[in-house]
């Protein structure tokens, strides 16, 4: 099993996703790691063939796999990159324990599929989820307020998604206000810097 995993990772890192998928098809009972890796391979190729494979995998994996955030995040990312926003959103909505990487995969996918406003709505949902956990159900959510939760600060992907969504929608004033609230340590990250350059 370890050899399979090493081969998988090697193929994916070397942009040989087709070989990774062929290898996956040789595995009789794939575990959660194999499922996660093949989803990444499908996301790399992102054709109709890979989309069909993702649908097959999603319909056949044990229910217990759906509680694994790595599997779910990889499936969401794979579906999004293959252009099946509906399946990705259904998986996301079915999840009872959403993680920031899941939100990031969904937001990134929405932006890739030209649904920036939906990506911003998902960002607001992150804040809503946090407030519900804190029992502050009556608070209104503002896209640009109270950004400094531990969970958000630890995930650059969320910031990147929001910058890209605001830029694509041409909401530069809101984007400027949002950028001022990003922790300084993140502003030195090359991905954030590139996103800001492209935004202006």
Model confidence over 21-70: pLDDT tens digits?
A: 888 888 888 889 889 999 999 999 999 999 999 999 999 888 888 888 89
**Quick check: 104 and 158 in contact, CB under 8 A?**
yes
Q: How far apart are CA 57 and CA 9, in angstroms?
A: 19
Total-model pTM: 0.71
pLDDT tens digits along 66-122: 888 899 999 999 999 999 999 999 999 888 888 888 888 999 899 889 998 888 888
Q: Which residues contact 55 (CB under 8 A, 6 or more apart)?
A: 84, 87
CB 8 within 8 A of CB 36: no
b or e along 129-141 (b: 16 or more beta carbons within 10 Å of the residue's beta carbon)? ebbeeeeeeeeee
Own/partner pairs, 89-95, CB within 8 angstroms, 24+ separation: 91/58, 91/66, 94/66, 95/66, 95/69
């Amino acid at each position: 099993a370890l050899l399979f995993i090493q081969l998988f990772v090697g193929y994916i890192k070397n942009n040989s996703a087709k070989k990774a998928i062929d290898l996956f098809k040789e595995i009789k009972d794939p575990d959660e790691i194999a499922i996660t890796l093949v989803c990444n391979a499908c996301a790399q190729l992102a054709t109709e063939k890979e989309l069909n494979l993702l649908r097959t995998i999603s319909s056949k994996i044990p229910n217990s796999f759906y509680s694994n955030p790595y599997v779910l995040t990889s499936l969401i990312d794979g579906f999004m990159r293959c252009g099946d926003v509906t399946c990705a959103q259904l998986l996301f909505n079915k999840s009872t324990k959403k993680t920031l990487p899941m939100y990031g995969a969904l937001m990134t996918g929405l932006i890739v599929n030209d649904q920036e406003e939906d990506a911003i709505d998902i960002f607001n949902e992150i804040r809503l989820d946090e407030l519900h956990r804190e029992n502050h159900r009556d608070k209104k959510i503002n896209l640009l307020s109270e950004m400094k939760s531990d969970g958000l600060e630890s995930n650059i992907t969320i910031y990147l998604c929001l910058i890209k969504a605001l830029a694509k929608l041409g909401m530069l004033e809101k984007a400027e206000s949002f950028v001022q609230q990003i922790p300084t340590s993140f502003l030195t990250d090359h991905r954030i810097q590139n996103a800001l350059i492209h935004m202006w």
